[in-house]
Amino acid sequence: MGYASMTAAGQVQSWFEAYLAAPIVIIMFLAFKIIKKTKFRELSEIDLDSGKRELDLPAILAEERAEQAKWPLWKKIWKTIC
């Protein structure tokens, strides 16, 4: 948005500001891998399911509301204000 009103120099500057972080992130990631000597893992080796809990949002909200009902008055006021 706004590229039509930008000069060529402004467009180049905007592009570099937007995409300069990618090489920095890649360099820092590789530096971490080299310094800590960690291995790259295959996707088949990565376990994404163990330790994952089921999300039962109504039960979580009910538990949170029951806990908040036990709060003293000053804490209820404080949490409302802040």
Distance between start and end Cα atoms, the chain: 36
Reported pTM: 0.42
Confidence of residue 6 (pLDDT cuts 50, 70, 90): confident
Is 90 exceeded by the pLDDT of residue 74?
yes
| Mean pLDDT value across the chain | 88
**Beta carbons within 10 angstroms of residue 69's beta carbon:** 8
Q: What is the pLDDT of residue 3?
A: 66
